[in-house]
Amino acid sequence: MSTSRKYYPARSRRQCSITHAKTSGDRVWIAGRVIELGSPQKNSGILRDEGDEILFLLSQPTDLKIGDIIELYGNWKDKEFLADDYRLLTP
């Protein structure tokens, strides 16, 4: 039997909210819904959680889409979240 079913992680690595990530300066996992992509740079976008939103910049190209729920790993610097890694939680 052939299947094209995709499996997504059952657990989240999220360590804090976006609001906390903006003030901590630590490298953390945050999670939320992608609400904008490709602005102001190709590998950037806006991520929103239950309390805030953040401009993020990924270090590698992705196939993310608006509406995806993701986790980002990185830190807040100069008004944007610099992400070294990401995980797609749900498309």
**What is the C-alpha separation between 31 and 10, in angstroms, rounded?**
14
* DSSP code, position 6: -
Question: What sign does the dihedral 62-66-68-69 (CA atoms) show?
Answer: positive
Fold of the domain spanning 18-90: OB fold (Dihydrolipoamide Acetyltransferase, E2P) (2.40.50)
Q: Are 50 and 17 in contact (CB under 8 A)?
A: yes
Say whether pLDDT at 69 is over 90.
Answer: yes
Domain ranges of the chain: 18-90
What are 80's two structure tokens?
């944007």
Q: What is the pLDDT of residues 2-53, one digit of tens each?
A: 455 566 666 788 889 999 999 888 899 999 999 999 987 889 999 999 999 9
**What is the C-alpha separation between 89 and 66, in angstroms, rounded?**
13
- Exposure b/e, 43-52, CB count within 10 A at least 16 = b: ebbbbebeee
* Position 1 confidence tier, pLDDT thresholds 50, 70, 90: very low
